[in-house]
Structure 1
Amino acid sequence: MARNNPRFLVDESGRKISVVLAINEYRQLTEDIQDLAIIAERKNESAESIGEVKKRLLSCHGVI
């Protein structure tokens, strides 16, 4: 995803002190952070192959 260029607020000496983002970019960044947190929480869970998922869905619901 292409990111917009952020705008910075600077103090009297020209040091960056704040950043201004478009609201859509801010929302995307917070969504990305939430996704990464979920990934980190689940990284030690066992993986399930697509074949296993299909079998489980068929046996429980009769559909894929």
Structure 2
Amino acid sequence: MIKVHPQYVVDERQQRTAVLLPLAEWEQILDYLEELDDIHAYDEAKTGSQEIMPFEQAVREIDEGSES
């Protein structure tokens, strides 16, 4: 679990409007979110259609997509 030490920005009615975090903690949160995104993408891929294609075709399609 990521330990965070938030500081809050409040308005004139003392309502919280924003959060400040040390940069290192923010970067840990971003890394964690990227990992969760990867897990989600993997889970979606596993439940999606299982179309199989030759490796060479997959590389060619990736290369063609990066040219646009």
Same fold (TM over 0.5): yes
The gaps in structure 2 that reach 5 residues or longer are 48-68
The gaps in structure 1 that reach 5 residues or longer are 47-64
Runs of 4+ in 1 over 4 A off after TM superposition: none
TM-score by length of 2: 0.60
- Measured on the aligned residues, the alpha-carbon RMSD in Å equals 1.7
The structure richer in helix per residue is: 2
1:18 aligns with 2:18: yes
TM-score by length of 1: 0.64
Seq. identity, % = 24
Count of residue pairs brought into register by the alignment: 46
1:33 aligns with 2:33: yes
